[in-house]
């Protein structure tokens, strides 16, 4: 049986990037890892992941959670470095 860590290794995303997808789409992390793996295959999919993370930043800010917003900004910067496309 595959574990979340197995799926995480396979999908080429960090755990935080998968959690951003999971939070944005309201789905289990293991499903978000699968979705993220599929999205990484195209430039349009990479743009979608970027939007998910940006939305998570905005949500944290609108709920008065500056530490969480900062965390998502760091995740976004890491994603942009790994996937500049």
Structure confidence by residue, pLDDT tens digits, 33-83: 999 999 999 999 999 999 999 999 999 999 999 999 999 999 999 999 999
> Which long-range contacts does 46-52 make (Cβ < 8 Å, 24+ apart)?
46/83, 46/85, 49/13, 49/17, 49/20, 49/21, 49/79, 49/83, 50/76, 50/79, 50/80, 52/20, 52/21, 52/24, 52/25
pTM above 0.85, yes or no: yes
Give me the pLDDT at residue 47, please.
97
């Amino acid at each position: 049986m595959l574990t979340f860590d197995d799926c995480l290794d396979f999908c080429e995303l960090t755990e935080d990037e998968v959690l951003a997808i999971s939070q944005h789409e309201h789905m289990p992390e293991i499903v978000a890892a699968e979705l993220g793996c599929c999205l990484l295959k195209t430039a349009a999919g990479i743009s979608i992941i970027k939007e998910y993370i940006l939305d998570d930043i905005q949500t944290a800010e609108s709920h008065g959670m500056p530490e969480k917003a900062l965390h998502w900004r760091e995740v976004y910067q890491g994603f942009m470095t790994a996937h500049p496309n």
